[in-house]
Structure 1
Amino acid sequence: MKKRILAIDQGTTATKTYTLDSDGHFAFCRSVDHRQIYPQPGWVEHDPETLLSNVQKSIEAASDIDAIGIDNQGETVIAWDGANGLPIYNAIVWQDQRTTGFTEALKAQGAEHLTLARAGLPLDPYFSASKLRWILKNVPQAAKLHKKGQLKLGTSDSFFIYRLTGEYATDVTTASRTSLMNLATCDWDPELCEIFEIPLEILPKIRPTAAHFGVLTAPAREIPITASVVDQQAALLGHGCLRSGQIKASFGTGVFVLANVGEHVHGDHTRGIISTVAWQLTNQKPVYAVDAGAYNAGSAVNWARNLGLFTEFADINHYDRPSALSRGLVFVPALSGLACPYWDRSAAGLWLGMSLETTREDLCQAVLEGIALRTAQLLDAIFHLTGKQGRLSVDGGLINNTYLCQFLADVTQCKIVVPVSPDITAYGTGRLALIGSGMVKNLSDLTPAQKPQKIITPRNDLTYLKARFDDAVTRSRNWR
């Protein structure tokens, strides 16, 4: 008998839901945006109750569902009262930079060698631990609840699971983004918790990615949650990157490149890439990945649009002229600083090479090229470890931009594989939930992954542009 999964993609800007049947049929259900909250420069928050309401409404709108899978933003954190489930502060989003001073101080003390060795992560406000500490130190109710033994403190997935099922749990991929989990043991590390001053006992239990996370507590809706996963890892599986070396890039708010590296942690951090868990099935070893990300991709395009540089996305889809960088104009999309391989929050976005002849079209072309060239930097860092890969699977809204994809192919000399479904993240989440529910035994038993919609091959060799872009990135650093 055919079974149906509800796959919920709870992302940075919206909550999207899809159904995935055990025969492989994948269908869109709904999408609901939520508000971004900016209390101070560099601070980014969400309303936890709004996020939860959007998840709950998505479940209520679905019918004939046998199990649920939820993917999450990764490093975003929430604190709440365990007695009533109510949040005590807004969700602090992965983009938030309020803890920069603290992480820089830890670096100065030499603590980064331990976070890299144990958690696979550098010291950066991007990751969850410093945000969790900030809540403990700055939200008075947190200390009061901790004394009573009622404080719940975790990533956003643990909040959703707690409110939906009453269980206090997270999954191993999300825990691997906190800087508190030991990659070798897949459990909370006491020394890492001590560095960040996080009481280990208040953290949720870590479970495999495809596992039982409880049953919905609402009457007449006794549906199990059978997968919880970070959105980027869900996309890796959704693309069918099941073998070591296979790689994908997701273009959303930022751009995030992940490569499957198999069952062993990759410990070489000399190129600024990070180690993480790709997924884990119940009673199996975890599969690991290496990860390289940039904070600004879609956010840079939206920023350019808000500046009035273009009106419709179709306006920036084609350029019948040489590349902007070959004509001396470059854009560095460091609007929120630089992540891999620099990990430099002092960097700032910039255009270089403008003249009186520079047009809005030129500036937009440079923005797209800057995103592609930052992606090329991420790929080069990963290829140093995995070896050059000839194919790159891509997803996200920006892959609809013809110019970006072709320029990316030309500057990386990779074939760019575009999937049929634009929401490969939810597809991967649904496939994990099929396994977690027991409807499918293993990854090899899943229906074949979706065939590509198209494959974009290199037309020109533009790799020579990378050196000049690297120079521009250097100029963007130490500005703030």
Structure 2
Amino acid sequence: MAKKEYIIGIDAGTTGIRTFCFNDKGKVIASAYQEFKQHYPKPGWVEHDPEEIWAKTQKLIGDVIKSADLNPKDAIAIGITNQRETSVVWDRKTGKPIYNAIVWQCRRTSDICNNLKKQSLESNFRNKTGLVLDAYFSGTKIQWILDNVKGARAKAERGDLQFGTIDTWLLYKLTNHKEHKTDHTNASRTLLFNIQTKEWDEELCEILRVPSAILPQAFNSKNLFGHTSGVKSLPDGIPISSLVGDQQGALFGQLCTEPGEAKNTYGTGCFFLFNVGDEFRISNQGLITTLALGPEGKTVYCLEGSVFIGGAVVQFLRDNLEFFEYSKDSEKLVKALKTKDEIVFVPAFAGLGAPHWDQEARGAIFGLSRDTTPAQITRAALKAIALQSYELAHAMERETGKPLKFLRVDGGATANQWLMQFQADILGTRVIRPQNVDTTVLGAAYLAGLERGFFKNVAALKKLETKNTQFEPKMKESERKEEITRWNDAIRRVKTVQ
């Protein structure tokens, strides 16, 4: 077999795992995908089985290499991108999780967050981590596991447990339990990491009662984190040279490495990131401050707005209401509609994220009548994805004082042409979609390749950029204002009915 070097990219998402092989031009040679089970033990609770995530990751690595007829020995490096705040705690001695992974969407720790707010502790977290106190983030999930799994707290205090987000868990498994590390972007989502000092914060650990001994070492995203050991279908010794949170991975994959550059990712949720370079700033517009990657993979700051339910609302219509068999069918269903309506769907299944940060809000559909059809509800759901993203863009404009000239987009839901056109219409600005919309894992591959010298530098990566599709706004201004007004009215009603 002729030698054909490549990078393995692992995209550990919220609903499934996708593996990729990239060549030295940043092109996808092959990919493989599998969904995994979502567990809902109580209303508002969301869990994953960490062992299932690992088993499917390991299988998919073999599948993608085999599908492209590649030699496992020719893999230059592995880059991992992941759902960020999802939290796993496992036994240091056995390597077994002591509880299911608590997913970023899970609302079970809302009361913990509310109690911390009542103690006037939110500013402590805000000023050090850039985050708001919300069940979204990892710190209170760790506290819940330690308080609710029998014997867990005593084990943690003895140093017998380890915590990690999914990047850390996969690194741990890929290295046969040798490495317990994370990167700055994932650490910055825990409520425990001081993003000014780039270190775990002892005061915040004490407030949340999380022993610092269970936390992984944190490094820049472009780093030699370890080498493979005992992995099926891979030889030992392949470098794992990048870990990066999915949204920061997408920002780097879009090569938005300079201050003022932004992107929005449309996946399970929607995530709008705006690079602010070396400037640490606290938002007064309901945005959070977090860590991202600048030129050559250097850690920098960015502002972020997070929508909890983006593409997941389409999965809800597919799986729960059975409106269609495949998510892609939603576009065909909506395009067939000939009449307008005033239906508004607010998919606050897990509360409202930025800029509202309302943990108690729940989903609602307004404007239903006896003749409302699945197609009309589906259209309202797609509009909701774009309207929530509009709120983030509007908050970014107010925060920075600069109008959005255009919006770079990526993620699976951007394949929906109708959605992207409506997004351009409701923003009143151009939307740019790259040829490869899997920019989360592309960012991880770029970083891994840069660390290993497979890619020369960011300037060279920018020369690899390929064709894109652009959507220009076509909606009348009066119609745009009507859509936004209806949306704002619905949001007010959802936030009122607790």
Contact preservation (8 Å) 1:78, 1:154 = yes
Name the stretch that deviates more: 89-98 or 153-162: 153-162
Partner of 1:23: 25
Name the stretch that deviates more: 401-410 or 129-138: 401-410
Contact preservation (8 Å) 2:168, 2:182 = yes
Distance across 2 between alignment mates of 1:361 and 1:159: 41
Distance across 2 between alignment mates of 1:203 and 1:57: 28
* Equivalent of 1:154 in 161, 164, 168: 164
* Equivalent of 1:371 in 385, 404, 423: 385
1:124 aligns with 2:134: yes
Contact preservation (8 Å) 2:81, 2:249 = yes
- SS of the equivalent of 2:444 reads helix
1:66 aligns with 2:90: no
How big is each residue's C-alpha offset from its partner over 1:422-448, in whole Å with a ceiling of 9 and x where there is no partner? 312111110011112233353234352
Q: TM-score, normalised by structure 2?
A: 0.91
Distance across 2 between alignment mates of 1:444 and 1:258: 21
Distance across 1 between alignment mates of 2:398 and 2:294: 25
How big is each residue's C-alpha offset from its partner over 1:170-202, in whole Å with a ceiling of 9 and x where there is no partner? 100000011111111111111111221111222
Distance across 2 between alignment mates of 1:89 and 1:171: 23
TM-superposed CA distance for 1:285, in Å, is: 4.8
Distance across 1 between alignment mates of 2:157 and 2:127: 32
Q: TM-score, normalised by structure 1?
A: 0.94
Distance across 1 between alignment mates of 2:365 and 2:423: 19
Output aligned runs, 1:177-216, within 5 Å: 177-216=189-228
Distance across 1 between alignment mates of 2:144 and 2:295: 33
Partner of 2:493: 475
Please tell me the residue identity of whatever aligns with 2:302: A
Contact preservation (8 Å) 1:238, 1:429 = yes
Distance across 1 between alignment mates of 2:4 and 2:458: 18
Name the stretch that deviates more: 90-99 or 49-58: 49-58
Partner of 1:313: 330
TM-superposed CA distance for 1:329, in Å, is: 2.3
- SS of the equivalent of 1:124 reads coil
Contact preservation (8 Å) 2:259, 2:276 = yes
TM-superposed CA distance for 1:47, in Å, is: 0.8
Name the stretch that deviates more: 357-366 or 410-419: 357-366
How big is each residue's C-alpha offset from its partner over 1:374-428, in whole Å with a ceiling of 9 and x where there is no partner? 1100111112223222211112222122221111111101211111113121111
Distance across 2 between alignment mates of 1:437 and 1:431: 10
- SS of the equivalent of 1:28 reads strand
- SS of the equivalent of 2:303 reads strand
- SS of the equivalent of 1:477 reads helix
CA separation of 1:360 and 1:317: change in aligned 2, threshold 3 A: closer
Distance across 1 between alignment mates of 2:114 and 2:207: 13
- Gaps spanning 5+ residues in structure 2: where? 66-71
Output aligned runs, 1:200-279, within 5 Å: 200-218=212-230, 220-268=235-283, 270-279=284-293
1:348 aligns with 2:365: no
Contact preservation (8 Å) 1:173, 1:278 = yes
Distance across 2 between alignment mates of 1:23 and 1:427: 11
Distance across 2 between alignment mates of 1:453 and 1:286: 27
Contact preservation (8 Å) 1:253, 1:298 = yes
Partner of 2:54: 52
TM-superposed CA distance for 1:249, in Å, is: 1.2
* Equivalent of 1:38 in 29, 37, 40: 40
Q: How many residues align?
A: 475
TM-superposed CA distance for 1:478, in Å, is: 4.1
CA separation of 1:322 and 1:179: change in aligned 2, threshold 3 A: farther
- SS of the equivalent of 2:226 reads coil
* Equivalent of 1:443 in 429, 442, 458: 458
TM-superposed CA distance for 1:455, in Å, is: 0.3
Please tell me the residue identity of whatever aligns with 1:23: K
Contact preservation (8 Å) 1:5, 1:20 = yes
Distance across 2 between alignment mates of 1:436 and 1:196: 35
Distance across 2 between alignment mates of 1:184 and 1:423: 30
TM-superposed CA distance for 1:264, in Å, is: 1.6
Distance across 2 between alignment mates of 1:51 and 1:38: 16
Please tell me the residue identity of whatever aligns with 1:476: V
Please tell me the residue identity of whatever aligns with 1:348: R
Please tell me the residue identity of whatever aligns with 2:204: L
TM-superposed CA distance for 1:25, in Å, is: 2.6
How big is each residue's C-alpha offset from its partner over 1:3-50, in whole Å with a ceiling of 9 and x where there is no partner? 421010011111111112223332232112111111111111111111
- SS of the equivalent of 2:224 reads coil
- Gaps spanning 5+ residues in structure 1: where? none
1:111 aligns with 2:127: no
Please provide the CA RMSD for this pair. 2.0
Partner of 1:89: 99
Please tell me the residue identity of whatever aligns with 2:236: R
